[in-house]
Amino acid sequence: MSLPVSLLLLFSNLQAEVLKHEISMPQYKEFSYAEVCDLMGAKNAVLISLKSLIEIECLNKSYHLIDFCLKQFPLEKILTRGYVDLAKKKVVCEMSESIMLSVSCDQRDLKYCFNPKKGCEELGKIYANRLEIAHFSMLEKNLNCYFSKHIGESLNEI
């Protein structure tokens, strides 16, 4: 399952130009902005705003949404990222057993392509937080990263 094009375009403005983002067996947990602020320590926050699709501001203090998801699901081995669903006005914690990511090595995102393994490691922090790199390659002018559950774990273990 892929993200809607509008969400991919917004993410591409924040990170690399993503050509492909395919996730297997996705699970999504949604939370209100207020729930996020409460769990992050800003109880009953009246001033809540979005700094980006991956960061929220509660009472003038910024929180990365992956930090919220990591705190909300401390033992979840397939937690990949946290982001805002603008259409639903919710924070989403995404989980997946594997992710295939393809990034264009254009001038803006060339930094990921000089060293493909390191580039995939950096992209993994954004798109595949608790997964590990299973494969990476450079094809034409694209960096391809495949992330999966840690080796040795059962595919149907959740």
Number of domain units in the chain: 2
Same domain, 78 and 113: no
Same domain, 47 and 64: yes
**pLDDT tens, residue by residue, 47-104:** 999 999 999 999 989 999 999 999 999 999 999 999 999 999 999 999 999 999 999 9
pTM: 0.80
**Separation CA 89–CA 75 (nearest Å):** 26
**pLDDT tens, residue by residue, 41-63:** 988 888 999 999 999 999 989 99
Same domain, 67 and 79: yes
Whether residue 109 is contained in a domain is answered as yes
* Region class of 127: left (phi > 0), else alpha (psi between -120 and 50), else beta: alpha
* Separation in Å, CA 126 to CA 47, 111, 122: 26, 15, 7
Same domain, 32 and 60: yes
Whether residue 156 is contained in a domain is answered as no
* Enclosing domain of residue 123: 5-26+96-148
Same domain, 54 and 110: no
